[in-house]
Amino acid sequence: MGAAFQWPDGIRGAVSLSFDDSRGDTLDNGIEILDRHNVKATFYIVECSFEKRVQDWKDVAASGHELGNHSVCHPCSGNFGFSDDNMLERHTVEQIAADIDDATRKIEDTFGLTPQTFAYPCGQKFVGRGRGTASYVPVIAERFVVGRGFRDESTNLPVVCDLAQVCGEDFDCKTFDQVKSILERTAAAGRWVVFVGHGVGDGGGQVVLRSMLDQLCAYVNDPDNGLWADTVVNVGTYVRDHQDL
């Protein structure tokens, strides 16, 4: 099925770099690397973080990067512990929809743009519990070009992938050799990989390594590798317009 999908001429697969939570070290350590290589990324921002450095995030958007919706209150399962007062098990579909719409309004009011893609907090797509559990994927499908997951088990087969729940590949703390292997498989199979990171630095948890990011950007820019590197919305829009289900 990979061969049935037609990427632009000379392209064998696609890659999107995305970063969650609008962390300051992403601004401090990541933007320079991305801009030096002219690689456009997607940043899923939350108000409690982006409000601290609004002008910096405005500059990020002005330079061609994408700002996406990551909800207002970042609800996750209560199993994480940190989400005791904000657990998905206690949400309804109506509540999560209201939160997402509120986040969109805050981004519109602050940055003058409407987010076109969404990242599921913690990669989780449900609300409620037991027999009352419900998916909120339809909420995302109604509002966004792409809904992006996290720590999924596959890259995306563009001819059939559901854009409302695109798979996300964790690249925090990974070496370049690990990432390169994923990129090689992506190009060989005609797929789309969406990498998911958080901060950018030289080490620590939930951090994309600066040296790896530099090598990654150089790799995807090499035309011999056959990869198209672009924002989640740009690749997602292309996939949407060329899917023939």
Tokens describing residue 122 = 């913690």
| pLDDT over 60 (residue 148) | yes
Kind plus residue range of the DSSP H or E element containing 170: strand 169-170
* pLDDT band at residue 85 under the 50/70/90 scheme: confident
- pLDDT, position 244: 76
* pLDDT band at residue 245 under the 50/70/90 scheme: low
Average pLDDT value for residue range 99-125: 98
In the chain, what percentage of residues exceed pLDDT 90? Answer: 93
Q: How many CA atoms lie within 13 Å of 226's alpha carbon, on the beta-carbon side?
A: 16
Average pLDDT value for residue range 163-179: 98
Tokens describing residue 212 = 């790896």
Average pLDDT value for residue range 166-171: 98
CA–CA dist 30, 198 (Å, integer) = 10
| pLDDT over 80 (residue 154) | yes
Tokens describing residue 135 = 């998916």
Tell me the backbone φ, ψ of residue 159, rounded to 5 degrees: -70, -25
Domains of the chain listed by start with CATH number: 13-67+109-120+144-240 (3.20.20.370)
- pLDDT, position 1: 43
- pLDDT, position 133: 98
pLDDT tens track for 16-52? 999 999 999 999 999 999 999 999 999 999 999 999 9
